Structure 1
Amino acid sequence: METASVTAESSFSTAVSLIDGTQLHLPVSAAAPLFIVGPNGAGKSGLIATLFRLNPNNAVRISAHRQTWMETNAVPFSPQDKIRNEQNFRGQDSQPEARWKDWNAATRSGLVIADLIDMDNKLARDLADAYRSGNDADAVKIAARPQPLSEITELFIGSGIPIELSIGPNSTIVARKNGGVPYSIALLSDGERAALLIAGRILTASEQALILIDEPERHLHTSIVTPLLLQLFAKRPDCAFVVSTHELSLPVAMPSAKTVLVRDSRSTNDDVAAWDLDVLEPGVEIDDSTKEAIIGSRRKMLFIEGTAASLDKPLYELLFPGVAIFPRQSCRDVEHAVASVRDAESVTWVQAFGIVDKDQIASTEVSSLNAKGIYPLSVYSVESLYYSPGIVSAIALRQCTIVEGDPEQMVQAAITNVLAAIASEVDRLAARMTEQAVKNKISMKMPDWKAIQSGENVSIEVDTQAMYQEEKAQLQSWIAAADVQRIVARYPIRETMALVGVVNALQFKNRSQYEAAVRKLVRDDAAVRAALLEHFGGLTAALA
């Protein structure tokens, strides 16, 4: 059993009792979130409830079982009632039943609405006071403060939810989807309401609060919960976060985070009183039997090339639902991870597969990799999927429901921008591809140990310049023919200004907003998902 002491940054009470009779201070601080994982019934929610009771004055609790429905999009009570409700709920949330029971769900939602509107009103009052007092410098600073609803809109867009929130008539909160007619937030979908309530509760929490989140994935799709929480952590660096979850990709997405692995617990008088747990340092792997208990029926693991912050993971979570996805830094890391799982006889409960970019893979290697459970993309990298002409055209159609413009003109502008960006990089891109082609030719002609032992002498000669000129001529011909499809599929377009050119042509604020719109398209459109799945060779059939 590993022990840990309270970090210097922590000002919270975090001592919990262990089944062996000792105490452990959980490493809670604002430096990095603490994740709590473990099988159903192990005592994760009880641990969250205990941390709430230990910190009655500065803890905020967001429960998995909490209902997300709303009776109204306005503040449903007076200021005095708001204060009384907050006091009542804090007392109720300190009870043992709070692990599974929710009191007055609609009123709790109303408190979040009230806090959001109060923050917006306070910002307006502070700005007016500064102008009235003639303090223009302060007024400029206040005007630059982000409005809470604007921040949530930004969070939504970054998580693939195309919803804009604003203050409506009579101090209500309204939503607007894809630039459409405003409507009450009470009419949002279950997942959208859950995202709003989680974000609203966190953004309106007091400074330096301890924010306890119990199973956020219960109401949110896996492709949304990770980017939403990562953005919220960044928005509130003053707060400490403790997140109980079954989604093992969450700890993986935060390399600096520690993880509490809860194995079992003991109850006294219907309240969880002691735990069997370990504190895992960043990077420490959870054993396979525990992963099986946590993940449950998700017996397929997919190792992908990239990091938790790259574009690969959120897209692949949409394309391969029900599969546990784990990023690895390089192609070799993916191969090693898949081989390690497949070679471990004790891990019979899980099947491991891998996805790697095509950028370093020769066509002659594909069959060999497939036999090992590794499936290279049919295009250079994941950016080739996000920015393919078909996806750009579909996004342009959607974008024209939000902003003024003609989709055909947008697509043509995007093509023009991509061609211009590539034309300025022809020499370098051709050289990059030639470099890999040379490596592949040399690799194919390398003798094996038997040939060397038998005395065979091998001379390898490669006409690098001829290959370079051929590659350069091919790229120039594709530019002349405006063959964006082939260019995007073959070359590392992320190393050029081509991506920014697409974003600007389609009138998005930045790449993140465009890429979130692509994921929303993939979520909504089965035909788009099917088309993208064709780029993964036999992986779809292998996972079936």
Structure 2
Amino acid sequence: MVYLFSDKVEVNSKYIDLVKLSDERIEPLTTKLDKVKCIWEKTLPHRELVLGGLTIQTRVRGNNDSVYNSSEMSDGERVIFYLIGQCLAAPENGIIIIDEPEIHLHKSVQVPLWKDIEKLRPDCLFVYMTHDTDFAAALHEAKKIWLKGYDGSCWDWEDVPDVDGLPESLLIEILGSRKPIVFVEGENGSYDVSLYRAVLNNYLVIPSGSCSQVIQNVKALRTSEQLHYMEVFGIIDRDRRVDGEIQSLLEYGIYTLSVAEVENLFCVPEVITLVSKRLVRNPDEDLQSVKDFVFRAISSELDTQISLRVAGEIKFMLNCFDEKAKGIDGLSNALNLLTSKINVKELYNESTSLFKNAVEKRDYLLALKIYNRKSLSSQVSKHLGLANGQLAELVVRMVHNESGESMRKALRPYFGEFSSKIVIQNA
């Protein structure tokens, strides 16, 4: 503050001297405090700084009755003022190192503020040390360095590499983790992703939206020469995948669940039993009620489920087209060979048999393995005395409390071949 006011006095003194020597009007000179005011008010458009002779006050923009002293500023207001002032006070052609540039700043103002400050000091090199991966990724034009470790005398570091097919923000998040990485379907905030994180608590679980994005992310990292040492896996819904597709995905470290969709994990027998006991109900009766409902649901949309499954198999087979074929004849022969292997009637009959066996033999685990219905867990809720959709919420709560270990053990077998990689430990 003293530095800024000293600069103001000096600049104003120069201005007075210039005015005395000139017969023409001279525009006032810009002080460093003026620059602070400009950036501060741009960052906080609902506030304005009132610069006095030796005082600084703040007020709500346009309201002269709401003036308060700088000592009464909020942490954010004070930090923004301090950061701008300190950077203006840095030596010419200096290196400005900022540790945790995001502290006390709302995410919406972090990057715009620092970009404006950098424009004030184009002569300086700015170095940001941050744990905030969003902040680092938002500085698109900046060179990024990953500090991997420190042994007391030397830093272990390397440039953040470019990985084709992987967003830089995601790459930075991964590099900051010391845990193995698991990409899953879904979005942050969903119950299925919360469940994944609770069960896979010794992994960094990263939701990637669709299954195709999971596959792309895993392949991109596993084929990267710079990051080949990282443990990276993917877990996707079984959906309507045939065994051949599941095995081919395994070669890339991509595993499929033993149920059709992650939502079906909320409906497996062990989970239903644990929830029923938690609610002090009759587990046997509740499980039977849930099973009866699931079998009725499958029967009511049998043709739809069969058709979707067959369509999925045909799609996979079409993806096996020989891309190395050349010329009209070569491409035609490759296509004819491929389509000749697709027997729709046979595929339909096989799927029909599969679904009917599940229903007629009341094979509940098979039903969960082949039945795709994202709303299933919501519909099952009422059979446990819960409101629609509350089952998933309750399971997630249970896996985070004293029931956590039992719930993880109940769910682990349904992670298919990835089950052996899951270590049961309390979060």
Tell me the residue number matched to 1:43: 100
Q: Deviation at 1:533?
A: 2.5
Tell me the residue number matched to 1:447: 322
Once the two structures are superposed, the pairs formed by residues 272-351 of structure 1 within 5 Å of their partners are 285-286=168-169, 292=175, 294-295=176-177, 297-298=178-179, 300-347=180-227, 350-351=230-231
Asked if the contact 1:304/1:312 (under 8 Å) is kept, the reply is: no
Once the two structures are superposed, the pairs formed by residues 231-270 of structure 1 within 5 Å of their partners are none
Tell me the residue number matched to 1:161: none
Tell me the residue number matched to 2:288: 412
Partners in 2 of 1:7 and 1:377 — Cα distance?
49
Q: Deviation at 1:538?
A: 4.0
Aligned residues: 295
Gaps of 5+ in 2: 1-38, 48-59, 61-75, 90-97, 107-129, 146-165
Which residue of the other structure, out of 251, 259, 267, is the alignment partner of 1:371?
251
Task: Please tell me the residue identity of whatever aligns with 2:385.
Answer: Q
Which residue of the other structure, out of 275, 278, 298, is the alignment partner of 1:422?
298
Distance 1:259 1:361, change over 3 A: farther
Partners in 2 of 1:541 and 1:308 — Cα distance?
25
Which residue of the other structure, out of 376, 384, 387, is the alignment partner of 1:506?
384
Once the two structures are superposed, the pairs formed by residues 2-401 of structure 1 within 5 Å of their partners are 6=43, 13=77, 15-16=80-81, 17=83, 21-22=87-88, 42-43=99-100, 47-48=103-104, 285-286=168-169, 292=175, 294-295=176-177, 297-298=178-179, 300-347=180-227, 350-359=230-239, 361-400=241-280
Task: Please tell me the residue identity of whatever aligns with 2:414.
Answer: H
Task: Please tell me the residue identity of whatever aligns with 2:362.
Answer: A
Q: Deviation at 1:259?
A: 9.9
Asked if the contact 1:379/1:535 (under 8 Å) is kept, the reply is: yes
Q: Deviation at 1:514?
A: 1.4
Partner SS, residue 284 of structure 2: helix
Partners in 1 of 2:313 and 2:168 — Cα distance?
37
Q: Deviation at 1:470?
A: 3.9
Once the two structures are superposed, the pairs formed by residues 428-443 of structure 1 within 5 Å of their partners are 428-443=304-319
Asked if the contact 1:380/1:492 (under 8 Å) is kept, the reply is: yes
Task: Please tell me the residue identity of whatever aligns with 1:304.
Answer: V
Partners in 2 of 1:472 and 1:390 — Cα distance?
28
Partners in 1 of 2:173 and 2:305 — Cα distance?
46
Q: Deviation at 1:540?
A: 5.2
Partners in 1 of 2:222 and 2:350 — Cα distance?
41
Distance 1:466 1:382, change over 3 A: same
Provide, for residues 349-373 of structure 1, a one-character-per-residue CA deviation record: whole Å limited to 9, x for no partner.
Answer: 6432211111153311333322212
Task: Please tell me the residue identity of whatever aligns with 1:428.
Answer: T
Task: Please tell me the residue identity of whatever aligns with 1:505.
Answer: H
Distance 1:543 1:452, change over 3 A: farther
Partners in 1 of 2:293 and 2:391 — Cα distance?
16
Task: Please tell me the residue identity of whatever aligns with 1:315.
Answer: L
Asked if the contact 2:268/2:368 (under 8 Å) is kept, the reply is: yes
Asked if the contact 2:238/2:369 (under 8 Å) is kept, the reply is: no
Tell me the residue number matched to 2:12: none
Provide, for residues 160-196 of structure 1, a one-character-per-residue CA deviation record: whole Å limited to 9, x for no partner.
Answer: xxxxxxxxxxxxxxxxxxxxxxxxxxxxxxxxxxxxx
Partners in 1 of 2:245 and 2:85 — Cα distance?
53
Partners in 1 of 2:88 and 2:240 — Cα distance?
52
Task: Please tell me the residue identity of whatever aligns with 2:394.
Answer: A
Task: Please tell me the residue identity of whatever aligns with 2:382.
Answer: N
Tell me the residue number matched to 1:518: 395
Asked if the contact 2:260/2:372 (under 8 Å) is kept, the reply is: yes
Partners in 2 of 1:413 and 1:287 — Cα distance?
43
Provide, for residues 65-92 of structure 1, a one-character-per-residue CA deviation record: whole Å limited to 9, x for no partner.
Answer: xxxxxxxxxxxxxxxxxxxxxxxxxxxx
Provide, for residues 417-440 of structure 1, a one-character-per-residue CA deviation record: whole Å limited to 9, x for no partner.
Answer: 222222221111111111112223
Q: Deviation at 1:374?
A: 1.3
Partners in 2 of 1:394 and 1:424 — Cα distance?
28
Q: Deviation at 1:451?
A: 7.6
Distance 1:288 1:418, change over 3 A: closer
Q: Deviation at 1:507?
A: 0.9
Provide, for residues 85-124 of structure 1, a one-character-per-residue CA deviation record: whole Å limited to 9, x for no partner.
Answer: xxxxxxxxxxxxxxxxxxxxxxxxxxxxxxxxxxxxxxxx
Task: Please tell me the residue identity of whatever aligns with 2:253.
Answer: G
Partners in 1 of 2:44 and 2:294 — Cα distance?
50
Task: Please tell me the residue identity of whatever aligns with 1:439.
Answer: K
Tell me the residue number matched to 1:471: 351
Tell me the residue number matched to 2:371: 491
> Which one scores higher on RCO, CA 8 angstroms, separation ≥ 6?
1
Gaps of 5+ in 1: 24-40, 52-244, 264-282
Task: Please tell me the residue identity of whatever aligns with 1:303.
Answer: F
User: 2:415 matched to 1:536?
Assistant: yes
Q: Deviation at 1:492?
A: 0.5
Asked if the contact 1:383/1:494 (under 8 Å) is kept, the reply is: yes
Output the aligned Cα RMSD: 4.2
Distance 1:503 1:447, change over 3 A: same
Provide, for residues 150-169 of structure 1, a one-character-per-residue CA deviation record: whole Å limited to 9, x for no partner.
Answer: xxxxxxxxxxxxxxxxxxxx
Tell me the residue number matched to 1:149: none
Q: Deviation at 1:382?
A: 0.4
Asked if the contact 2:184/2:205 (under 8 Å) is kept, the reply is: yes
Tell me the residue number matched to 1:99: none
Partners in 1 of 2:282 and 2:273 — Cα distance?
11
Partners in 1 of 2:173 and 2:273 — Cα distance?
45
Partner SS, residue 303 of structure 1: strand
Asked if the contact 1:341/1:347 (under 8 Å) is kept, the reply is: yes
Larger radius of gyration: 2
Asked if the contact 2:182/2:232 (under 8 Å) is kept, the reply is: yes
Provide, for residues 215-264 of structure 1, a one-character-per-residue CA deviation record: whole Å limited to 9, x for no partner.
Answer: xxxxxxxxxxxxxxxxxxxxxxxxxxxxxx9696xx79xxxx9899999x
Tell me the residue number matched to 2:13: none
Partner SS, residue 353 of structure 1: strand
